[in-house]
Amino acid sequence: MSIGANAFLLSNSVLAKWLLEDYPFRIQLAPIFPFIPIAGHELRYATTPFLPPAFAIDACAPIPEDTKNPIDPNRVFRMAELATHYRICYSAQDIFSSNVNDQAAVQAALAIRELLYKFFTLMEAGDSVNPGEFDGLLKIVDPLKVVDLNCTAVTLEKLSETINRVRSNDGRAVVGFGPNVMKRAIEVAHWKRGLSPEYEEMEFPNPRGGIRRQKVLIFDGAPFYVIDLFQSRPCVIPPPGPPLPPAAELTSNGTDVVGNAWFAVLGEGHLHAITPAALGTRLFATRDTRLPDGSTDIYHMTMPVGLALGSACSLAVLKNGKIPQP
């Protein structure tokens, strides 16, 4: 008699290592975004406005004085505390961690991902007016570096205008980033003109091991990184009539969706994150306590972090671009 339904009694049920997200957010900028430790709770940047060229003088002529003064006040960037916690009871750690997964390590890996999700959410939309938040890109970008499409379609001309407003580091080593729908809008802007978008091969970890090369969208030399946590939103337009006061309500046309495409130079003196020097090169701090009855370990994981911008010319945004519908 052949074996059938009872064959499972002679087999092993293998659990894959780790606990995986079914619907992860893409934060493609994370591996290259600079987190710079600072020895203090805030970072101040002293900047000066447009510099005129130096002077050409005749022989033995006096040299005109042109002392540079920093803009008062300095620009100040502060950190916020991002946090989460998880609990592991003794029996779970003692008995089941010897099986496949270290229960605490699994939860720690997911907690780190949660904290990164919160950082990249606040990176665009954070507002220090809200308790516990730092100022995001929309708060720190210079108004002169904003190209507002006002719910119109993304075009190659407007993309070029935006990226050319990034002028620090002589306008080189620029990266672009935004939600995936803005990546698609850039591609559509090319297709509408009968042009093919530009792509460049870059190296990424191969899920089967090692490294593989994959094409990445490039605009004017800037690779575009997808951040799913930068949200698209309904197009908001002012109703017809005289100009409204700042606090007046705006209405949505209910159909169009818009998003932002950012371009920046990354690094110290440009756009970067700030973390406490006490953490060294680490981004996360873990503290564990115990329930009074001694049955459960409680792990608190925190990420003290902020966003800083050196030169105002290090960041520009193509704002409120209409997203093409499928």
Better pLDDT: 91 or 29:
29
H and E: helices and strands count for the chain: 5, 15
Where are the domains positioned within the chain? Answer: 24-42+73-238+252-322
Domain at 24-42+73-238+252-322: CATH code: 3.90.1690
What residues form DSSP beta bridges with 275? 37
Q: If pLDDT is split at 50, 70 and 90, which confidence band does 238 have?
A: low
> Is the Cβ–Cβ distance between 149 and 324 less than 8 Å?
no
Inter-CA distances, 165 with 37, 145, 258, Å? 28, 6, 21
Q: What is the CA 4 to chain-centroid distance, rounded?
A: 53
User: What pTM value is reported for the model?
Assistant: 0.88
**Which conformational region is residue 83 in: left (phi greater than 0), alpha (psi within -120 to 50 degrees), or beta?**
beta
Q: Residues 18-57: pLDDT tens digits?
A: 788 888 999 999 999 999 999 999 999 998 888 888 889 9
Geometric angle at alpha carbon 139, from 124 and 68, rounded to 5°: 125
The pLDDT of 204-233, averaged and rounded, is 92
Nearest to residue 304, comparing CAs of 281, 286, 285? 285
